[in-house]
Structure 1
Amino acid sequence: MSIRLRLTLWYSGLLTVTLILLGGAIYFFTYMNSYGEVKNWLEDGYKQLIAESRGGWDGQIYLNALTNTSIQSELYVQVVNKTAGFVFDKTTNMTVRQLSFPLPDKVDKKQPVYRNVTVKGYPFMLCELALLDRDNNVWVVQIGAFTGSQADYLYDLRTILIIASLAAVLIAFTTGLFLARKALRPIENVIQASRKIATGSDLSYRIPRETPNDEIGKLTDTLNGMLERLETAYNELDDAYHSQRRFVSDASHELRTPLTTIRGNIELLERMWRPALDGDNPSAVLSEVEAAREEMSREAMRDISEEATRMSRLVNDLLSLARADAGIVMDKSNLDLLPIVEDVCRRAQHLPRKAEWIVNDFAILEGVQVYGSADYLRQLLFIFIENAFKYTPSGTVEVSAVCREDRAGIMIRDTGIGMNREEVPKIFERFYRADISRGKTAGTGLGLSIAKWIIDEHNGFVEVMTREGEGSTFTVWLPVAFSRHADSVIMEGMDRRPI
């Protein structure tokens, strides 16, 4: 928030508080004055009624008191037999308008009680007075005055005060913003330059020198010098970053061919040595020295093959990340999601694993299309499935389909080692591996980073539910381009096929 806006808000807030206090005081005194007159009017009415019923109180005396036209024309009077709990009688103006005051809950026998009520949408102020007759029965006289004019007057006053206060605050805010902008105009260029630096759009921008050699002028010179140094450093870093990115991409491409060749030769050697080493009686053909030598050669070839496989996987991961950093756009089209998921699940059963592989029914994905790349979607699902196999030394790994509104989800649930809550936000970082699994499982820590990039490119997201020692559930959500189903639900517990 700028200083100009902050100053304007400060004194606008102070003005608002002042107007609220002033308007509240005006409204309070007007309210007390208006309803004070009604209260005095009611007080005169009940005093007059008491004077006319002097000498006792009963129904007949009350009826005689009601015949007084001054009371009947100005006020609304209702008498309640509190002891019996019924309305004894009321004035003619109440009978004609079919009005009836609510019965009192509690009354004071020493002094009248005032309260505001609403009868059939009409506001009244009541004065309730408790009297005793000769038989000690409690009679409650309810004298009411119509306060509609006072309510309308106070409503109009309240509306005027609110509108006037809002208008005053708005005018003061606009005027103050203009004056503050005019007073702080010399540093406007500094603010614009800072914004350009923050966005990184143009580091060649320099602040115009329009002020004399005062504090703002010196600040402008200092910032221009800083901008020049920042531009030079940024250009050097940008060149180094592009060079590094080209190196990673080129190195990945160059390493793929020799690694493939190494793996092919190792596999060839293994096929050549296998007949001799796997014979029915190798000791009869080879001497002990030759057998030991060939066993060592076999172990060496196995190690080379494993390392070559690991390096090949690492190079492929680095190549994918290099493509992501380079901003490569995937070739996408509308794809049927069901064949892709079924193909991945079919091929996943041949992956190295110790857990039971459970594939649920994917009928819910029938007719569902997504906009994306088939190859990258397969790679995405393989990453999560391989990850589940890797961290599930025993138990089950289960895959199922989910459809909700305009998204389709693939759920991979395992009963492996799980994670704690602190690890979840970091699992998609490059080279990050949970402490609980270091040294126990092989990997580079790049798989989930690649998966996150693929998900982002497909405008999807992933939900993670995990508990340490109980397993994890990853749900990959993809936007649906087309679906034959109007409504879909989670398919659980249907046609599970353990493999």
Structure 2
Amino acid sequence: MSIRLRLTLWYSGLLAGTLLLFGVVIYLFVNWNTFGDLKEQLRVQNSSIHIQSKMNFLDELNLSLYTDDRSFGQKDIYVQVVNYSEGAIWLSDNLRYNNFSIPYVEASKNPKEGFVKTKVEVNKYKYDMLTYQRPIIVPINGKETLVGLLQIGVLSHNEERFLSGLRTILIFSSIVVVLIAFTVGLFIARQALRPIERVIRATDQIEKGSDLSVRIPAIGPKDEIGRLVSTLNVMLARLELAYNELEEAYKAQRRFVSDASHELRTPLTTIRGNIDLLERMWEKVRASNRNESNGEWLPLDSDRWEMSKEAMSDISAEAKRMSTLVNDLLALARADAGYTMEKEPLELMPLTEEVVRRAQLLPRTAEWRVGDLSAMRGVTVTANANYLQQLLFIFIENAFKYTQEGVVELSAVRREGQIGFVVQDTGIGMNPDEIPHIFDRFYRADESRGVTVGTGLGLSIAKWIIDEHKGSVEVTTREGDGTKFTIWLPITLPDTSPSTIIEGTDEIEE
């Protein structure tokens, strides 16, 4: 429920309660004022009437009435005396003339003195009557006994109709006023809360568009809402400044990583070149220290050679590993920096044949097998040749790494609008629960088992290359049964431009 509706309901509820209280007070006042004169007349008439009782020779009770008021029996006031012992009723002349009587309470219900509202039937019509009743109690055999009832009444039909109309007017007028107040209250609340709606729209725009330069229009007086708008604008300005500073720092960090990786490649290349040179020089030294007559090595020079050879091999291996790591970091830094590859239409078959040839020279213990590549004939994709080769070598080297014994196979499949490279091995496989994490940086699926060595960056780079080529990857694996990667790339048709390449999505199957 909105604040506007809640405020309107609270206001309408308060107004309805006030009108209810006001209506009740008005009705009670009018009721008291309307019936006040009638009740006063009945009291005066009651004080002027006297009842006498006597017993006849048959021990029957006779009641007689006399009054001090000369206006007794006037047309507007009706008098009735009830004798409970004989059931006899004495009626005033106006009651007998109009041929009706006043209903009375039975003696068993022990009637009390006071005002009673009742209805009388005159000529088959019922009219409201206000009566004042007074029990008649006389001593019989020394005991106070209720023997009759005196009733003095006046027709109050017109007064009741007036009060009924007043109730109707008060109820309906209150309902109409509340409805009008509710409608007007909604409009007023909407106008009063309009600045808050502007605040909500501005914050939604910032949330959806991440544009912190948006400001809330400051319109209206400097009330509580105006101060809130001003405070939010100041807060947005500070957030924009902090965000821009953070973005600049992040860009600087990415530039640093990219530049550092680039600069590190040069000394590593130099180290590797010098080590290769030293190895060739030591080959010459080794040949010069060999006895030409018997072909044996001199003991001292031979030991020195072995130690130097071992040290240079270690340095070479570490330099190669560092070079690989730096190259990987450089590729990821370029990805973080938003590097865009230069792509052009490329035939897949020649590129794949080159990859197959070079893959045979990779260090491996598994059998390298080339499957059916006929699906690639005549297929052209928009790609970067160097990065596409790197992508295939990442998956092939990864398969060799996790397949100590068995087969690693490269094949191709095709479906509508896409071509797929299939790299399948019969290695150790992995738990399907690990699949969502294998493209995370530095994640190692077999880290807890220590089966292989590596940095855990290869598949992260592969995922970046796939995304840059608008492709997708499917993974099927089971522990002990090997793993199959299917890399899908969109095919560039002859009548389409690179901007119309079909985009793929990452799919993972177990």
C-alpha displacement at 1:219, in angstroms?
Answer: 3.8
The match for 2:441 among 412, 418, 430 is: 430
Asked if the contact 2:290–2:296 (Cα under 8 Å) also holds between the matched residues in 1, the reply is no
Alignment partners' CA distance in 1, 2:248 and 2:197: 32
Q: Which residue matches 1:359?
A: 370
Amino acid at match of 2:436: P
SS at match of 2:452: coil
Are 2:310 and 1:299 equivalent residues in the alignment?
Answer: yes
Task: Find the aligned partners of 1:346 and 1:467 in 2 and give their Cα distance.
Answer: 29
Counterpart pick for 1:387 among 386, 392, 398: 398
Where 1:481 maps in the other structure, the secondary structure is coil
1:274 counterpart = 2:283 = yes
Q: How far does residue 441 in structure 1 lie from its aligned partner after superposition?
A: 2.0
Q: Where in structure 2 are the equivalents of 1:23-422 lying within 5 Å?
A: 185-199=194-208, 201-210=210-219, 212=221, 216-274=225-283, 286-422=297-433
Letter in 2 for 1:308: A
**SS, match of residue 417 in structure 1:** coil
In 1, distance between residues paired with 2:356 and 2:188?
Answer: 69
Distance 1:416 1:281 in 2: 49
Distance 1:254 1:464, change over 3 A: same
Given that 1:368 and 1:483 are in contact with CA atoms closer than 8 Å, whether structure 2 keeps it comes out as no
Residue 482 of structure 1 aligns to a residue in which SS? coil
Instruction: Name the CA distance, whole Å, in 2 between partners of 1:421 and 1:356.
Output: 25
Tell me how far 1:211 sits from its aligned partner. Answer: 5.1
**Kindly tell me: are residues 221 and 398 of structure 1, through their superposed partners in 2, closer, same or farther at Cα, counting changes over 3 Å?**
same
Q: Is the Cα contact below 8 Å between 1:464 and 1:473 reproduced in 2?
A: yes
Quote the Cα distance in structure 1 between the aligned partners of 2:389 and 2:448.
Answer: 25
**Against the structure 1 CA distance between its residues 248 and 287, is the aligned structure 2 distance closer, same or farther, given a 3 Å change threshold?**
same
Matched residue SS, 2:252: helix
Q: TM-score, normalised to structure 1's length?
A: 0.57
CA separation in 2, counterparts of 1:280 and 1:355? 39
Structure 1 pair 179/342, CA: closer, same or farther in 2 (3 Å)? farther
Give yes or no for contact 1:367–1:482 (8 Å, CA) kept in 2: no
Q: Percent identity?
A: 64
**Larger CA deviation: 363-372 vs 222-231:** 222-231
Amino acid aligned to 1:408: I
Q: Is the 8 A contact 2:291 2:297 kept in 1?
A: no
Structure 2 CA distance for partners of 1:363 and 1:290, relative to 1, 3 Å = same
Deviations 1:293-338 (A, max 9, x none): 3212111111111111111111111121122222222221211111
For the residue of structure 1 that corresponds to 2:362, the secondary structure is coil
Residue by residue over 1:334-384, the C-alpha shift from the partner in whole angstroms, topping out at 9 and shown as x without a partner, is 111111111111111111111111101312211111111111111111111
Distance in structure 1 (CA, Å) of the matches to 2:475 and 2:316: 34
Amino acid at match of 1:347: R
Match of 1:446 among 457, 482, 499: 457
8 A contact 2:255–2:337 mirrored in 1? no
- In 2 relative to 1, CA 420–178 (structure 1 residues): closer, same or farther, beyond 3 Å? farther
* 8 A Cα contact 1:466 1:473, kept in partner: yes
Q: Give distance in 1, aligned partners of 2:425 and 2:239.
A: 50
Partner of 1:478, secondary structure, is: strand
- The residue type paired with residue 373 of structure 1 is N
Distance in structure 1 (CA, Å) of the matches to 2:494 and 2:403: 34
Point out where structure 1 has 5 or more consecutive residues left out of the alignment: 8-176, 485-499
Q: Deviations over 1:211-254 (max 9, x none)?
A: 55655445434433432332222122112111111111211221
Using structure 2 for the length normalisation, give the TM-score: 0.56
Q: Aligned equivalents of 1:3 and 1:423: distance in 2?
A: 46
Deviation at 1:206, TM superposition (A): 2.6
Q: C-alpha separation between the residues in 1 aligned to 2:439 and 2:460? A: 5
Whole-angstrom distance in 1 between the partners of 2:468 and 2:278: 42
1:465 aligns with 2:472: no
Question: Would the aligned equivalents of 1:367 and 1:483 in 2 still touch at CA under 8 Å?
Answer: no
Task: Write the distance in 1 (CA, Å) between the matches of 2:418 and 2:2.
Answer: 45
Please name the residue that 1:490 is paired with: none
Distance 1:375 1:178, change over 3 A: farther
In structure 2, the CA distance between the partners of 1:190 and 1:470, relative to structure 1 (3 Å rule), is same
Q: Structure 1 291/206 Cα, relative in aligned 2: closer, same or farther at 3 Å? A: same
2:213 corresponds to which letter in structure 1?
A: S
SS in 1 for 2:431: coil
Q: Is the 8 A contact 1:355 1:393 kept in 2?
A: yes
Contact 2:470 2:490 in 1 (8 A): yes
1:407 touches 1:477 (CA, 8 Å); kept in 2?
A: yes
CA distance in 2, matches of 1:220, 1:477: 51
Distance in 1 separating the partners of 2:272 and 2:445: 30
Counterpart CA distance in 2 for 1:365 and 1:3 is 61
Inter-partner Cα distance in structure 2 for 1:479 and 1:351: 28
Structure 2: which amino acid aligns with 1:194? T
Cα-Cα RMSD: 3.2
Amino acid at match of 1:400: S
Q: Which runs of 5+ in 2 are unaligned?
A: 7-185, 496-510
Letter in 2 for 1:355: A
Q: Distance in 2 between matches of 1:181 and 1:281?
A: 105
Paired residue secondary structure (1:386): helix
d(CA) in 1 for partners of 2:433, 2:349: 35
Secondary structure of 2:308's aligned partner: helix
- Alpha-carbon displacement from aligned partner over 1:9-42 (angstroms, at most 9, x marks no partner): xxxxxxxxxxxxxxxxxxxxxxxxxxxxxxxxxx
